[in-house]
Amino acid sequence: MKKSFLAVVFMLGFFISSTTFAAAPYYDGKTIRIIVGASAGGGWDTYARLISRYFGKHIPGKPTVIVENMIGAASLACVNYVSKIAKPDGLTIGVFNGGLFFSEAMGQPGIEFDARKLVYLGAPIRDDSVTAFSKKSGITSMEKLMSAKTPVKMGGVGRGANVDNNIRVLKEALGLPIQLIAPYGGTADIRLAVESGELAGASWQWSSMRATWRKALQSGDVVVVLQGVPKPLPDLPKVPLAISYAKTDEARQLIEVGIHNSGIFSRPYVLPPATPKEQAQILTKAFADTLKDKELLAEAKKMRLDFEPVSAPDLEQAVASIRKLDPVMMAKLKDILYK
């Protein structure tokens, strides 16, 4: 009986060990590339580089993880590359501006990806956007923005990007005197343009802006005047909400659909279509585990980066919801974002 018991224990241990190490040979000694569709130093890049430092340890085989930047057409070059050129071998991950999901659903030129075929890993954070201006531009409140005598220049990265979509929706829904200047390579380039006086301001994700533009915000050289969220962010309790300025049902719906809801899929991490299920499952789990990594979260806290993960199923569902929009609202958004 004792020998039989020991034999069972041995076989069970062998089975567990075999299962544990079955996935390791594939990623052992390999390199995973995270392709970021924005310039270095911006929010997308900052998050990707932080994640890359911890991602590998959660993958069996502990592969090397590197970040590469691929700018062009508001990160369309990146997602097209991941969808059409990158091998579906579980070694390439794309990070791009989720506003392009609107572009894809609306059949815009240059789109070479099908959102329904991409493999979703999730997103590190929802896009709680804010609008900010330099103090020297004179726009230090919504009242000053709304009363501006000439169009106020704001920076974008290209048609279809959330950075640009936010500005376009705000201009249409609230009737703001805004002139969108684009494309810049990324939010890092926009920051430099604002600081030089080339632009007055911009609109993008608060956690990213707070981390990458920290000194200017702390000194008051850059001022947040508006929030594109349903409820005030904890550290911006006195900054007004965009939707509170909406005067019609259509304006409110434009802000809800074009800014609030799109924040869920603004920062997606995806694999190429047809990536084998085994690799997709390994990386999806590793991505979720990475976003809960205590060491990562401790470093993020020092960098003042927030993490509010969106799961792979939730991300996929949010992207799919675009195709379910009312046709009238879809046509209105298409006119605003791409006219």
Residue-wise pLDDT for 52-107, tens only, equals 999 999 999 999 999 999 988 778 999 999 999 999 999 999 999 898 998 899 98
Amino acid at 309: P
Average pLDDT of the residues in 255-284: 94
Q: Is the pLDDT of residue 9 over 50?
A: no
In whole angstroms, give the CA distance from residue 163 to residue 220: 22
- Looking at domain 129-262, its CATH superfamily turns out to be Periplasmic binding protein-like II (3.40.190.10)
Average pLDDT of the residues in 14-30: 62
What pLDDT sits at residue 23?
46
Beta-sheet strand order (sheet of 269-271): 64-69, 31-36, 92-95, 269-271, 119-122
Q: Given this chain, do its domains 6-125+265-338 and 129-262 carry the same CATH topology?
A: yes
* Spatial CA neighbour of 206 closest among 278, 169, 152, 259: 259
pLDDT-derived band at 24 (thresholds 50, 70, 90) equals: low
Q: Residue ranges per domain, the chain?
A: 6-125+265-338, 129-262
What pLDDT sits at residue 39?
86
In whole angstroms, give the CA distance from residue 241 to residue 114: 34
Q: 269: burial class by Cβ within 10 Å (0-12, 13-18, 19+)? A: buried
* Spatial CA neighbour of 165 closest among 204, 111, 209, 114: 204
Strand (E) positions, 128-187? 129-134, 152-155, 178-181
Q: Is the pLDDT of residue 2 over 90?
A: no
Task: Report the number of secondary-structure helices (H) and strands (E) in the chain.
Answer: 15, 10
What pLDDT sits at residue 21?
44
> 53: Cβ–Cβ under 8 A, 6 or more apart, which residues?
65, 296, 299
What pLDDT sits at residue 22?
47
What pLDDT sits at residue 20?
44
pLDDT-derived band at 268 (thresholds 50, 70, 90) equals: very high
Of the two residues 25 and 197, the one the predictor is more confident about is 197
Rg (the chain; Cα; Å): 22
Average pLDDT of the residues in 237-247: 96
Average pLDDT of the residues in 161-176: 93
Q: Is the pLDDT of residue 215 over 60?
A: yes
Of the two residues 127 and 288, the one the predictor is more confident about is 288
pLDDT-derived band at 11 (thresholds 50, 70, 90) equals: low
Average pLDDT of the residues in 197-221: 94
- Looking at domain 6-125+265-338, its CATH superfamily turns out to be Bordetella uptake gene, domain 1 (3.40.190.150)
